[in-house]
Amino acid sequence: GIQVEQSPPDLILQEGANSTLRCNFSDSVNNLQWFHQNPWGQLINLFYIPSGTKQNGRLSATTVATERYSLLYISSSQTTDSGVYFCAVNRDDKIIFGKGTRLHILP
């Protein structure tokens, strides 16, 4: 089946720093979504981005479907950005999450 790999697995940054999270997938996909899971377990939509680039405030995402990867950019990090960032892909009715990147933003 399709493999989804996220990197880095863990990231610790000072408040105000920028970061790039990566999601690689092993085969073509129909769709890709980025989520943020906060420390209370809430899973929040960030981007639905099967291809192209989208921006929402300090966050932006780019998916290059032909090269099978997606990037999530976080600029000017805030402590509320802490949590786990997941990418999830969809292919042939299979929905597969990566293992996530655990982000800690220090004040």
Q: 86, 101, 103, 105: which one contacts other proteins (CB under 8 A)? A: 86
Q: Which residue has tokens 């999530």?
A: 72
Cis bond before residue 9 (omega within 30° of 0): no
Q: 15, 18, 44, 64: which one contacts other proteins (CB under 8 A)? A: 44
Rule CB under 8 A: is residue 85 a binding residue for other proteins?
no
Rule CB under 8 A: is residue 67 a binding residue for other proteins?
no
Cα torsion angle, 78, 13, 97, 29, sign: positive
Rule CB under 8 A: is residue 83 a binding residue for other proteins?
no
Q: For residue 90, give Cα distances in angstroms to 3, 9, 39, 83, 104.
A: 11, 21, 25, 23, 28
Q: 3, 48, 52, 76: which one contacts other proteins (CB under 8 A)? A: 48
Instruction: Report the interface residues with other proteins, using CB under 8 A.
Output: 30-31, 33, 35, 40-45, 48, 86, 88, 90, 93-95, 97-100
